Amino acid sequence: MSNPFLKQVFNKDKTFRPKRKFEPGTQRFELHKKAQASLNAGLDLRLAVQLPPGEDLNDWVAVHVVDFFNRVNLIY
């Protein structure tokens, strides 16, 4: 037997937090559009972070850690 209450609680189309709506023309709206475009770009993240052939793992990790640190500092 299926419980209608449980179907309502676990409905994947609904969320507990309301979806944000940004006013067109604002900076937040533009950032939201860019974020959605990058999330829906179809980029395969496994290929993007894969170690290139012939590269040393330690060097590759060090370069990316420093790059990540610099980006976080810019944001902060």
Task: Give per-residue pLDDT as tens, 51-60.
Answer: 889 999 999 9
Q: Is the overall model pTM greater than 0.95, yes or no?
A: no
What's residue 12's pLDDT? 62
Mean pLDDT value of segment 37-49: 76
* Domain hosting residue 41, numbered range: 22-48
The angle at the Cα of 16, spanning 15 to 20, to the nearest 5 degrees, equals: 75
CA–centroid distance for 31 within its chain: 13
Cβ contacts of residue 4 below 8 Å, gap of 6+? Answer: none
Instruction: Classify residue 1: in a domain, yes or no.
Output: no
Residue 18: pLDDT over 80:
no
Residue 1: pLDDT over 60:
no
- What are the percentages of helix, strand and coil residues in the chain, rounded to 5? 55, 0, 45
Number of domains comprising the chain: 1
